[in-house]
Homo-oligomer: A and B are copies of this chain.
Amino acid sequence: MPQDPTSPVVSEYMARSVKASSMVRRMFEEGARLRAEHGAENVFDFSLGNPMLEPPPRFREAITELLADPPPGLHRYIPNAGLPETRAYVAGELREETGLEFGPEHVVMTCGAGGGLNVVLKALANPGDEILSPMPYFVEYDFYAANHGAHLVRAATDAEFQLDFDALDAALTGRTRAVIVNTPNNPTGVVYPEEKLRALGDWLRDASRRMGRPIVLISDEPYRKIVFDGLEAPSLFPFYDHTIVVTSHSKDLGLAAERVGYVALSPRIADAALLADALILANRILGFVNAPALMQRVLPLLKGQRVDVARYQALRDRMLPPLREMGYEVVKPGGAFFLFPRSPIPDDRAFARICQEQRLLIVPGSAFGGPGHFRIALCVEESVIDRALPVFEKVLRQVR
């Protein structure tokens, strides 16, 4: 067993966590080294899920208009829940979509979805509580749960990465406080269809009854508007009362670095008023206050706008068929901008190292609770895909 790292100033947990997360960092550093040595055009970097599309042009127009004739106090502190008019706008959108009675009191603006999830977990979790997540899942969930004294419990999914209710059942305990789902999913791109969400609602009602208190459904849905083939990713609100949605405009408006998102509570959730107060207090005491005010002002001016989603679909369609033709097993993503193929050798970390030798950067599935797979982030130009495909073929031949 390795000795825990010690530091005169850094906490034991964080020193350990820095060490544990250094694998990914070393990969990034190696990527930088490869680019320096071989030229950026000879490194095929599919490791970073950084939304590549620019915001819709209306975004910059709207900010410029706002600043040309700024409302007084535009940059002063606003209520901890966020700007009332922005919350009313979001509530209106949710009302329109779901038919449920959303009001501004059900919406709390947050510093992206990452901030939103921390705020939600802070509001919900008692020490030792368990947060159930299907596998694979966004790499930060373990940290988010641990930040607030809870821990993440993993449940397997089926071969298509769809929910497996037997696995959820087996993972359910008296300490299960919430189930967190992410559809379209990072890292798989899989979208849960309506019938799965209906079944999830049924399962949650039954599980809550068995456990004697409502198990909260947390829907982490920053990719919800990034869907392909004319499909929609359904809202989860209609299927279960105790639902909290956490989202951001990082992907659908291309504003990842501007940190604007929100938490929305179902008007039917248990103890809605106290929960809203707890979220608002968590927003404050975790130091977010809420989301940047300028971005909040702009949101209602961007109704119906989104990035050019067809571009992400085109990237998927450029890459998926040739990979399958070579012999990679890949579940077809219905949204987001990832592929999550099966690793051609069981050890996905070893496969990532082999790829890296060919200047092909992908992330081992183990990093996402999806061992035996690897993640390709489609946040690249078309030409990178074209030049990378022969390399994917080469590494496949090499390991077979």
Contact = CB atoms under 8 A, between A and B. Distances in A.
Interface of A: 5, 7-15, 17-18, 21, 48, 50-52, 54-55, 60, 63-64, 67-68, 70, 72-78, 111-119, 122-126, 129, 140, 143-144, 147, 213-214, 216, 242, 250, 254-259, 269-271, 274-275, 277-278, 281-282, 284-289, 291-295
A287 B111 contact: yes
A111 B77 contact: no
Contact of A124 (B11, B55, B115, B281): B11
A114 to B, nearest CB: 3
Nearest to A249: B75
Contacts of A257: 74-78, 289, 292-294
Contact of A14 (B214, B281, B288): B281
Question: Most chain-B Cβ atoms within 10 A of its Cβ — which of A10, A55, A116, A281?
Answer: A10
B17 A259 contact: no
A266 to B, nearest CB: 11
A75 B258 contact: yes
Contacts of A18: 274, 277-278, 281
A74 to B, nearest CB: 8
Nearest to A257: B293
A50 B75 CA distance: 10
Nearest to A244: B9
Given A116-B287, A288-B111, A7 B277 contact: no
28 contacts: A7-B271, A10-B124, A10-B271, A10-B274, A11-B125, A14-B278, A14-B281, A14-B282, A50-B77, A52-B73, A52-B76, A54-B75, A55-B75, A60-B67, A60-B70, A63-B63, A75-B255, A75-B256, A77-B256, A111-B289, A112-B287, A113-B287, A119-B287, A143-B284, A144-B285, A147-B286, A257-B292, A258-B292
A293 to B, nearest CB: 3
Contacts of A15: 274, 278
Contacts of A287: 111-119, 140, 144, 286, 288
Contacts of A258: 75, 292-294
Given A50-B76, A76-B257, A259-B288, A271 B9 contact: yes
Nearest to A126: B11
A63 B63 CA distance: 9
A259 B15 CA distance: 27
Contact of A63 (B5, B17, B67, B111): B67
A84 to B, nearest CB: 12
Nearest to A118: B287
Contact of A278 (B10, B213, B242, B269): B10
A255 to B, nearest CB: 5
Contact of A214 (B9, B118, B270): B9
Contacts of A254: 75-76
A200 B292 CA distance: 36
A129 B116 CA distance: 27
A307 to B, nearest CB: 11
A259 B256 contact: no
A292 B259 contact: yes
Contacts of A270: 7-9
A361 B282 CA distance: 25
B123 A14 contact: yes
Given A271-B7, A288-B259, A77 B60 contact: no
A231 to B, nearest CB: 26
A355 B271 CA distance: 34
Nearest to A284: B140
Contacts of A78: 257
Nearest to A63: B67
Nearest to A286: B118
